[in-house]
Chain A
Amino acid sequence: MDHSRISAVAEVVDDAMHGDDVWIASSCAFCYGSCSIRAHRVDGVVVKVEGNPDSVVGKGRLCGKGISGLMTHYDPNRLTMPLRRTNPRKGLDEDPGWKEISWEEALTEIADQLRRVREDDPRKLMIQRTTTVTAGRVPLGAFANAFGTPNTSVAGGGLHCGNGAHFLSGLMHASWSVVPDFQYCNYAMFFGASKGHGAGHASASNMGLAADARVRGMKMVVVDPMCNFAAAKATEWVPLRVGTDGALALAMCDVMVNELDIYDLPYLQAKTNAPYLVGPDGLHVRDPETGKPLVWDERSRQARPYTDAASADMALFGEFEVNGARCVPAFEKLREHLKKFTPEWSERITTVSASKVRRLAREFAEEARIGSTIQVDGVTLPYRPVAAIAFRGAQGHMNSVYNFFAIDLLNQLVGAADVVGSCLGFNPACHGYPETGRLAYVPKPGPDGLMVTGMWMGYHYPYPLPEPKLPVQLGLQELFPLSMNSPFQASSDQEALWQKFDLPYRPEVLLNFGANILMSIANKEAVAESLAKYKFFASIDLFLTETTQFADIVLPDCGYLQTLDSRSNFPFIFSLPGGMGEWCWPIRQPVVPPIGQQRRFQDVLLELADRIGIRADLNAAYNSAMNLEPPYRLEGDRKYTYEEICDAELKCNFGPERGLDWFKKNGVLKWPKKPQEVYWRPFVDVRVPVYWEFMIPVYEKMDAIAAPRGIRIPREYYEPLPDFLPCLSHKCQKPGFDFYAFYYRDIIHTNSFTMENAWLDEAAQLDPFSYAIAINAQSARKRGLHDGAMVWVESESGRRVKGRVRLTEAIHPEGLGIAACAGHWAPGMPVAKGKGVFFNELLDLDWEHASPANLNLDLCARVKVTLVENGK
């Protein structure tokens, strides 16, 4: 391609901007944290991006990725023209033969394809988007809902992170993620999480909060195979074998309950289902009339529905006879269950010594200060200054669900859930914007009194679990109610699975927004095969990525400094910082105009909707997604611009005076949080499940659908209480395969996207680990490996990657850590090309490597490391 046309920045400067010198408030999009920024524009050129001190989201702080944003914006390799593929063959080594075409030609062809599949079967359209650009969530989702396809994907960002972390955070904390209450927490345990250390939701905000907490004296214990960004700043690093976090947490729970006898009894009685009676079949014993679970009422000495007894009178221990059957409270069941997870058992699995497990459990339990209260802004609240949090590291495995369940049990046992100092969901309850009453939400009781989130990122709530069904989605998610994202949209065995479930259609058209699934999910060969099957593939992108190289039509997108988003940090459960402070609503607004023929993806989707005749459906989908109410609802098939849609949302939420113009000028709107919102749990009559009775009927229904079709779903993944289930890598017996390979988020990179940024690439080259393979120094020397040696890393199934090893003491002796999602090969990303190691090539992408519980892909691999000899 000839990029010379965009080499001179001056060519794209709007005349109106000559002579200007302005700071413009907006939002970053270098990760999904969406920190608030302000961009300095001089003579129409962005010369600096920094954090916006007026906003709660970052409070003026911005990470190195955000600071570097202008380098991506002005990257001469940005796409600026629509392109058509001229080579019909699609493959990893095929040259697409790109030819520049007009927008009219591109949109006509895409609209023809969309119209054709919609008339045939709208489910044949697959829409995927990157998680990095949160501005894509509503427009792409609305388009899918208007079109009528349930088939959407958020690529590797969703599949690798979301299934375990978000389900559990929603079920237990009514939020997308959890974080320590940094302002009050005294003892935080991080299990494979980096909240507060440069990545993830509310990234820059949490960095500041975590730093302040450490200065205040918060003890921070990081459980992680590698001592990198979080552990390096911790009070204590606890290295463990990859993928065994759940075993460590279960052993800590056992010590707290069975050795120390420390737990928050009133919390368990009032706020969990611990008192619910469980019969011999594992199900709750229920009131015959109402169907409500029974508890044993110590006061009246009889079983009563949980709604009819005072929580203080509910028994947590003992055995009772109810209607002729022996039964025990769920907590009694849990206590017995935990006895098998002794610290000695855990040591064999995790390599963390039994004595250390006992010490950690004691420290955590004692620091919880069970029974204490504290005043915040004049309100007396429970005070539990401990938190155990987890994210991608702990949950990216076959045992994803149980790992997270076990870790959160630590919080639940001591009542450290959404109270002062404890494990907090990100903003699960909000009284709403005071002047309009809009944006109010709060968790509420659902079936059996268990908590239903007040706000979620979509409409598939974690609880109550949907009824398992014969799947009609490409990812088979209807059969797996604990899942969100699925590997089967691109897996090597997708056709065999679709046949087994009699899927009545096959995907034909793929619409991609910025996702690079060839790199972000697993090995590229499997994904390439799935991509090549589409009859038509249109990609809206900033660069010719590896995935976009498979497209038939490429549309040049605007970057985050050129686009508009009326809700860059909403829903508040996603990336608005938790804890006390202020509610804050920033927007993302254009700082500079498009370059060449770039167009905003939101405008492209509106145009496509008009061309295929679904504008009324799209307006309705926006009404639903933004909860627009009269008089701001979008009407009929009126052709609104995206500015008008954003304006409607802002005015609907904040009143007619605070529309898009107000936000463009003022940047953010803030109002104070109340203690009753942040520490909502004592105020809301909901319980959370420490005993997952619902898993029993769910499994039976799933099995009834799957077993007759030759699919065996292992029952052990669907028990009401957590267990440790090994990953495939833990079972490997092959000689020489003595390392557990894993990848970790590099602090200076976001997924595969930022590798093309020249400043970040330079920083990565200065970092000894960003583009290398981290390996324990002693383990390496035993195998004759020296620092800087070029090695092959080969998985059990024969997949292999090459890279240079870096010897370090800061990794578990069995661990092999690879940073980020590097190793690009596309010619359209020349800065990124050939840099770093493509870890995901080691990952198999099939049924066998997916969690039977939530479809999370197993993200570790047992590997053999050998020296590269003579370049081979």
Chain B
Amino acid sequence: MNIRWDEVVDRTEFVPSPPVRHCAVPRPDEYAFAVAGSVDVNVWLYGTLSACTTERPITLKLSLPFSVREVLAELRTRCGDGFEQRIVGCNGTKYSFCRIFVNGVPNEDLDSSVHVDSCPPTIEIILVTCTEGG
């Protein structure tokens, strides 16, 4: 008798991902540093991306709430059309070798709202293009 692969175990036993560390996005009027529904966002570009501009960090003013994709769109205006192509592929998904950190936490979802709490948000972007072997 052949046991069904999808009936052998209870798949809820596996915890697929670490706990989410983000909180709900607060209302814009809760930010002491937000002015008229917008916020200053500090963007640090590292490694090869740092050559895109002499400004470091780059301070962007964005309307709340905002996503990382909106940050990238704003960066395009500062760093040129080629900037986004180094971060996302033609289908709009982020390259796996581009690492984006929002307030120090890895961000894989370009479209989710950036959580903002007590201070201006910081976005860090670095390309980790080295291949591996061995």
> Taking beta carbons and an 8 Å cutoff, which residues of A are in contact with B?
32, 122, 127, 131, 134, 137, 141, 144-150, 152-154, 157-159, 161-163, 166, 264-267, 269-271, 310-312, 370-373, 379-382, 415, 429, 431-432, 437-438, 440, 442, 444, 456-461, 466-467, 475, 477, 484-485, 616-617, 620-621, 623-625, 627, 629-630, 633, 676, 680, 682-685
Contact = CB atoms under 8 A, between A and B. Distances in A.
A523 to B, nearest CB: 20
A773 B131 CA distance: 34
Most interface-central of B105, B126, B128, B131 (chain A CB within 10 A): B131
Most interface-central of A310, A477, A633 (chain B CB within 10 A): A633
Contacts of A166: 132-133
Contacts of B1: 371
A440 B128 contact: no
A629 B19 CA distance: 14
Nearest to B1: A371
Most interface-central of B1, B47, B51, B99 (chain A CB within 10 A): B47
A161 B132 CA distance: 12
Contacts of B132: 137, 141, 154, 158, 162, 166, 456-458, 460, 484
B17 A484 contact: no
Interface string B30-73: 00000000000000101111110000000000000000000000
A150 B126 contact: no
Contacts of B3: 266, 371-373, 382
B8 A373 contact: yes
Contacts, number: 178
A145 B127 contact: yes
B134 A162 contact: yes
Given A437-B19, A629-B105, A680 B130 contact: no
A371 B2 contact: yes
A266 B105 CA distance: 40
Given A372-B3, A459-B97, A682 B9 contact: yes
B112 interface: no
Top 10 A-B pairs ranked by shortest CB distance? A158-B133, A131-B134, A148-B48, A683-B14, A458-B132, A162-B133, A371-B2, A154-B133, A150-B129, A459-B97
Contacts of B47: 145-148, 617, 620-621
B46 A620 contact: yes
B84 to A, nearest CB: 15
Given A381-B8, A381-B9, A680-B14, A620 B106 contact: no
Contacts of B4: 266, 270, 312
A221 B8 CA distance: 30
Contacts of B134: 32, 131, 134, 154, 157-158, 161-162
B120 to A, nearest CB: 15
Given A485-B131, A485-B133, A676-B14, A459 B5 contact: no
Given A159-B133, A459-B97, A617-B50, A624 B126 contact: yes
B129 to A, nearest CB: 4
A683 B5 contact: no
Contacts of A437: 18-19
A152 B131 contact: yes
A122 B52 CA distance: 13
Contact of A682 (B8, B19, B106, B133): B8
Contacts of B101: 623-624
Contacts of A372: 3
A150 B46 CA distance: 14
